[in-house]
């Protein structure tokens, strides 16, 4: 394949083309809450509930999206002077979302779910029988039928006219709060919750195009100017002056997720809703300990999963007795990265198996797994990820069904490789063009470049030997850059030729700004 030669003009043209089909380019163009099906009747029901002094209970979820959605809606009600209670399910004790047990025991007149509920058919029936109204706010893919609820707010409903279906649960919750505000005719600036909202958009890996791109750009600005105690603590503890999307994805979200993965999601909820520095600091330290434990367990299970994986299968399926349920989703992601295929990881407990699936590229893993749903007890999710509960005895049958599954993936590992670039074009002006199109992430991948004809001038490694640091020279221009290979042990002699695929990033140290190459792959020539 003939690659383009990249310069600043061509780079801008390529990046601009990514957003040519976007309908929403500015925050004032956001679709109104009323474009979400059922949101008007739901907000009127909340208004009536407040007037009657009823008990309102919010049921959230234990991942970053669910915790942030819970924080936004709980804080919103607190801001308007309405008392609510929150149920955040425990992954190990309660399972996902609004369960039958929660529905049987909950003390409420009105239940509102955030980031869950679209597949809670039995729980919805129990609440209806108990004459408790249920409002579901969710973004996961509905099944053919919908639960019996007073209202269901989900942009993926077939009869919903909301123009952007790929939004996260926290965005749906934010829209619902905006509708309630309008119904109550309250003067409240809904942008005050954007600092929280950005964590969920990134944490749930939403495509950063159209509405998500516009909302995240505003969210990152809000995050960096926020005076919320948790964000002040994060800046201090992580030594970050200004958060970008990478910081949120790799430094904040894993810590938020670690609570629900390893213990109780309420630890993360309390951290995000902390109002003083001391309390936020203590909760941060608790999250840090949980995250460190998560990383160690994840590393062990990933190694086991790799040893069990059949790389010939179209979809990788592995299982292990007693594997920690809190990390199997991350392990599935690690397998996707390694094999460039969708992956499902099951934790087996006696006769039952809980699985977490992750997709690859543009493949809709939810639709693929629907064809095998006869094997499942419970099943839900969306295009990029899915959760499964099934009898352990059915795992081998699932492996058999998926082994030769005909799947088409238009995403390849180098799909965001824009072209070849000469070191002579790389300067601050070139970087300005890259930064103009932030934030980068799913759907708006960070630009990847190729440079050949490089020679290695220096090589050294981190103390733990996990990361490589090279100084590479363009042999024709005699220009050099520092190249960093995170998670790579690049064993190469000084003076050897190398070809690099890399992204460009600034690093800051003691007031000095350096432009570095972040190595994504390499070839020793």
Phi, psi of 258, rounded to the nearest 5 degrees: -60, -30
Phi, psi of 453, rounded to the nearest 5 degrees: 55, 40
Per-residue pLDDT at 401? 94
The CATH architecture that domain 309-403 belongs to is Roll (3.10)
Per-residue pLDDT at 412? 42
Q: What angle do CA 203, 341, 355 make, to 5 degrees?
A: 60
CA-CA-CA-CA torsion for 104, 106, 112, 116, nearest 10 degrees? -50
pLDDT digits (tens, 9 = 90+) for 229-267: 999 999 999 999 899 999 999 999 999 999 999 999 999
Per-residue pLDDT at 8? 94
Q: Where are the domains of the chain?
A: 31-188, 309-403, 414-524
- Cα–Cα distance, 455 to 481 (Å, whole number): 11
31-188 has CATH 3.90.1640.30 classification: yes
Strand 56-59 and strand 110-114: the pairing is: parallel
In 85-115, which positions are buried (b, 16+ CB within 10 angstroms) versus exposed (e)? ebbbbebbebbbbbbbebbeebebebbbbbb
Q: Does 508 have pLDDT greater than 90? A: no
pLDDT exceeding 90 applies to what percent of the chain? 82
Strand 343-349 and strand 316-321: the pairing is: parallel
What's the mean pLDDT in 416-444? 92
pLDDT digits (tens, 9 = 90+) for 9-67: 999 999 999 999 999 999 999 999 999 999 999 999 999 999 999 999 999 999 999 99
Q: Does 500 have pLDDT greater than 80? A: yes
- As assigned by CATH, the class of the 414-524 domain is mainly beta
């Amino acid at each position: 394949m003939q690659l383009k030669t990249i310069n600043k003009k061509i780079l801008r043209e390529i990046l601009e083309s990514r957003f040519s089909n976007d309908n929403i380019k500015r925050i004032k163009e956001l679709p109104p809450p009323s474009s979400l099906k059922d949101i008007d009747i739901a907000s009127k029901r909340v208004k009536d509930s407040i007037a009657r002094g009823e008990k309102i209970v919010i049921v959230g979820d234990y991942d970053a999206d669910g915790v942030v959605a819970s924080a936004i809606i709980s804080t919103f009600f607190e801001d308007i002077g309405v008392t609510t209670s929150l149920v955040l399910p425990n992954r190990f004790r309660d399972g996902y979302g609004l369960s039958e047990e929660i529905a049987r025991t909950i003390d409420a007149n009105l239940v509102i779910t955030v980031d869950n509920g679209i597949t809670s058919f039995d729980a919805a029936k129990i609440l209806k029988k108990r004459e408790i109204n249920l409002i579901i706010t969710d973004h996961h893919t509905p099944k053919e039928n919908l639960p019996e609820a007073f209202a269901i707010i989900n942009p993926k409903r077939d009869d919903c006219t909301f123009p952007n279906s790929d939004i996260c649960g926290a965005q749906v919750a934010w829209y619902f709060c905006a509708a309630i505000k309008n119904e109550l005719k309250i003067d409240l600036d809904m942008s005050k919750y954007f600092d929280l909202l950005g964590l969920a958009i990134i944490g749930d890996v939403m495509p950063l195009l159209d509405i998500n791109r516009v909302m995240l750009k505003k969210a990152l600005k809000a995050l960096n100017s926020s005076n919320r105690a948790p964000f002040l603590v994060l800046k201090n503890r992580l030594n970050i002056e200004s958060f970008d999307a990478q910081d949120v994805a790799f430094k904040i979200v894993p810590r938020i997720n670690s609570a629900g993965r390893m213990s109780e999601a309420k630890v993360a909820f309390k951290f995000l809703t902390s109002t003083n520095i001391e309390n936020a600091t203590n909760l941060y330290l608790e999250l840090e300990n949980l995250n460190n434990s998560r990383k160690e367990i994840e590393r062990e299970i990933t190694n086991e999963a790799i040893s069990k994986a059949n790389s010939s299968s179209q979809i990788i399926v592995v299982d292990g007795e007693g594997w920690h349920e809190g990390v199997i989703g991350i392990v599935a992601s690690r397998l996707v990265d390694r094999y460039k295929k969708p992956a499902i990881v099951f934790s087996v407990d006696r006769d039952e198996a809980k699985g977490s699936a992750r997709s690859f590229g543009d493949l809709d893993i939810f639709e693929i797994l629907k064809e095998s749903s006869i094997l499942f007890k419970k099943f839900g999710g969306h295009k990029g990820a899915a959760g499964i509960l099934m009898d352990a005895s059915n795992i081998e049958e699932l492996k058999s069904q998926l082994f030769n599954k005909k799947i088409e993936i238009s995403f390849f590992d180098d799909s965001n490789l824009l072209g070849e670039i000469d070191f002579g074009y790389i300067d601050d002006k070139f970087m300005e063009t890259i930064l103009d199109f932030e934030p980068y992430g799913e759907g708006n991948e960070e630009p990847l470049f190729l440079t050949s004809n490089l020679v290695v001038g220096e090589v050294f490694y981190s103390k733990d030997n996990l990361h490589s640091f090279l100084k590479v020279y363009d042999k024709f221009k005699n220009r050099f850059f520092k190249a960093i290979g995170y998670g790579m042990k690049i064993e190469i002699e000084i003076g050897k030729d190398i070809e690099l695929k890399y992204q460009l990033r600034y690093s800051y140290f003691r007031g000095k700004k350096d432009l570095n190459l972040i190595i994504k792959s390499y070839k020793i020539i």
